[in-house]
Structure formats: structure tokens, C-alpha cells
Amino acid sequence: MRARANFFCPTCAKATGNPEHKILNLPLDAKFCPACGKRRGFKRLFDAINVSSRHSPHKHRYIDGKLEPLYKEHGERKAAAKNFETLGKEAMDRAWEKTPGQQREQIAAKHPEAIAAMQRGTVGHQIPAAAALGAVPRGARVDSQQYTYPAAVGRGAPLTGHPMTDAMQGVTNRRVVPAWVRSGRK
């Protein structure tokens, strides 16, 4: 069986009203559109697996084989995330339906933007960065800046001057220099 690929014809795309109209599974040496017979603008699409070029089929077959499980896993994750959002929206709708009418009116009067977000399905999304940082106490942010981040990137934490805190860190922030370097020998 000869190699095959997908093609694009602008005339057929205009006629069908679909700008992404594809003619599927034609031989690679096709010169004319089989539907309208036109040659101008008729071009091959490189949109399928193992259809990159004739110069390196083995390389592309190998790469496609390695990437296929990753693409499959990515697709499953996207589907699971979409399913999670759908289930969350359904749960919110069920909870809203079970809420007594008088309580609904009180909630709607108190938080109209939350009700609108719930109906749009955007509950729990789009928290501004300033609001997220504002939820963390200042002392915790300072500790993170001074101790956690430097430790994560491999730098020693600064000494505070307080003997107990410095002793608990177990570091003196002194660079260990071998004796032969201190003496100047090479």
C-alpha cells in the first residue's frame, strides 16, 4: 500500500463553508482535488502521525512511538479535568436545588456575585494574585522569603542574630575553605 496523507483544497473549503475542510487519505502524489478537480491551492497537510518527510521515516516513527503514550495520558488528564468541572457544577446545582427557598433568597441577597458565578460554573476560579497573597500572613511571607526559598534553591538561610534560632538552623553560613586554599598553594 502506498503512503497516504490528508490534503486541503481552498475551493472545496469555500464551497462547504468550512475553512478547515480536509480531503482525507489521498496518495502522496495527488496533484488535483478529487472533488472539484482544481489544482490551484491544493496542498498536502502534515497533520497525521508518520507523515513528516520522506528523508527520515525511521526517526519520526521512533519519536511518534515515544510520544504516543504521553499524548494519550495528556488527553486523559484533560478529559478528567473537564469531567471534574462538570461534576462540580452538577453538585453545586443539586445543593442549590435542595436549599430551602427562604434560605436561597437570603444567600442571593447577601452574595449576588457568588450566585452568578455558581450559575456560570466558575465557582472557586479566578482568584487574583493580590488576594491570594493577602490571605497569607505577613510573617509567613517573610519567613518564606528568608528561609524556605533560599533553602529550596540551595542557598543558606541568613543568620538572625538570635542564638537559639541560629543553632536550630544548624548552619553558620560560613564557606568551608580547605587549608591548602587558605595557604595560597595550588
> Does residue 142 carry a pLDDT above 80?
yes
pLDDT at 31: 92
Task: Give 32's DSSP letter.
Answer: S
Decide if 24 contacts 35 (C-beta within 8 A).
no
pLDDT at 11: 92
- Give the confidence band of 42 by pLDDT, cuts at 50, 70, 90: very high
Name every residue whose Cβ is closer than 8 Å to that of residue 48 and which is 6 or more positions away in sequence: 5, 6
151-172 mean pLDDT: 59
Say which range, 8-12, 151-155, 172-176, has the weakest mean pLDDT: 172-176
Is the full-model pTM beyond 0.75? no
Helix, strand, coil percentages (3-state) for the chain, rounded to 5, are 55, 5, 40
> Does residue 55 carry a pLDDT above 80?
no
Start-to-end CA span in the chain (Å): 70
pLDDT at 79: 92
- Give the confidence band of 180 by pLDDT, cuts at 50, 70, 90: confident
12-28 mean pLDDT: 90
104-132 mean pLDDT: 72
pLDDT at 32: 92
pLDDT at 25: 87
